[in-house]
Amino acid sequence: MENLYNHLYRWYAINHRILPWRETEEGYRIWLSEVILQQTRVQQGLDYYLRFVARWPHVEDLAAAAEDDVLREWQGLGYYSRARNLHKAAQMIVERGWTPFPTRFEDIRQLPGVGDYTAGAIASFAYNQPYPAMDGNVYRVVARLLDIDEPFDTTNGKKLFHKHIEKILDRENPRLFNSAIMEFGALYCTPTLGDNCLTCPLQAQCISHAHGTAELLPVRKPRPQLRDRWLDYHVYLCRRDGKLYTLLHQRTQKDIWQHLYEFVLEEHDKQPKAINPLPLSITHILSHQRLHARFCVHKVDVLPQIENTLTVEWTDIDHYALSRLTLKAIEKLGLSR
């Protein structure tokens, strides 16, 4: 194992990216970065991270924030349940007196939205505790190093990978080990390998390279069928006294985008008939659903009376946490905010 650590750490020392959450040992900041990075790539995540820590520098600040403000800061990242969990978790930390941030793995793991991966990442990055942090990059590197062809995204597969990583985890330096293996997966042992294996510093330790199976790994379970949904949105625009108004409604049911705002929606059970003239059509894919959305713009003199809708001045639309699909539509319709 010493050889693996030496090569990996040498590579890491030379190649790792300088990122603010790597420069801190504050559990709160590391947690924020981890939750954000589950949703987006590092570059975009960096902007969100910096905005979050500037606005809510400590967990108490986040706990005291209004949920709508947290959702708005999260806007564009999708999976709003993660933002709601972030907010709930901050409140739980304050209520339980775990400020500035819990230090025991078991306590961190109890926070809403925190699974084994995030708890392990925080415990190791913030407190150098010997817990693995298995993100997608780490699963890939471990699958290849040990030539494991079990799907990593099933319950059994996760257990198996967990056992293996426990064996190779550097218990003396868990912070360094987790950071290095994650970064190695993100930057070097990437999904598309190209010629990387030929000059790889871990080549001598890599079983899949010796077996010629690296490109085939890691294995995933077959993807579930996507459920199709047909959504017609009505974008009412009404100009009055030089101002532009529209109607928004908030999604309240237990469904995608709970609590977020969007235009007036009409959902169909099956594919509806074509509309003339053609409205803006967007296909939006979520993890289990394929949304076929159409946006019909209605320029009206008086906004219709529709239950559960709000009249919103267009220039105020940014004050509402909008679904990603709604944001996409606003952009494509060329309606500046």
Point out which residues bind ligand SF4 (CB under 6 A): 144-145, 188-189, 193, 196-197, 200, 202-203, 206, 208-209, 214
- The structure tokens listed for 334 are 């060329």
Considering beta carbons, is residue 36 or 133 the nearer one to ligand SF4? Answer: 133
Terminal Cα distance for the chain, rounded? 55
3-state secondary structure of 6: helix
Say how far residue 185 (Cα) sits from the centre of its chain.
18
- 27 with 33: CB under 8 angstroms? no
d(CA 298, CA 236): 5
262 is catalytic: no
Give dist(CA 50, CA 113) in Å, integer. Answer: 21
Q: How far is the CB of 143 from ligand SF4 (least distance, A)?
A: 9
Smallest distance, Å, CB 42 to ligand SF4?
Answer: 20
Q: Which is nearer to ligand SF4, 87 or 144 (CB)?
A: 144
Nearest residue to 27 (alpha-carbon basis) of 109, 136, 135, 134: 109
Q: How far is the CB of 207 from ligand SF4 (least distance, A)?
A: 8
- Considering the complex, what minimum distance in angstroms separates the CB of residue 215 from ligand SF4? 8
Is the CB of 118 or the CB of 205 nearer to ligand SF4? Answer: 205
Residue 50 near residue 23, CB atoms below 8 Å: no
Q: How far is CA 138 from CA 39, 88, 144, in A?
A: 17, 28, 10
- Looking at residue 190, the DSSP 8-state letter turns out to be -
- The continuous run of DSSP H or E covering 296 comes out as strand 289-300
Percent composition of the chain: helix, strand, coil (DSSP 3-state, to 5): 45, 15, 35
Give the H or E element holding residue 243: strand 243-250
Query: Considering the complex, what minimum distance in angstroms separates the CB of residue 297 from ligand SF4?
Result: 50
Instruction: Pick the closer one to ligand SF4 by CB: 9 or 314.
Output: 9
Nearer to ligand SF4, 193 or 244 (CB): 193
Rounded to the nearest 5 degrees, what angle is found at the Cα of 301, between the Cα atoms of 296 and 303? 65
User: 89: closest CA among 74, 71, 101, 72?
Assistant: 101
Residue with tokens 């109607």: 247
**CB-nearer residue toward ligand SF4: 169 or 206:** 206
* Beta carbon of residue 189, minimum distance to ligand SF4 (angstroms, whole number): 3
Least distance (Å) from ligand SF4 to the CB of residue 135? 16
Closest listed residue to residue 323, CA positions, set 283, 263, 280, 234: 263
- When the beta carbons of 100 and 212 are compared against ligand SF4, the nearer one is 212
Catalytic residue chosen out of the listed positions 23, 26, 34, 67 = 34
- Is 127 in a helix, a strand, or coil? helix
Active site residues: 34
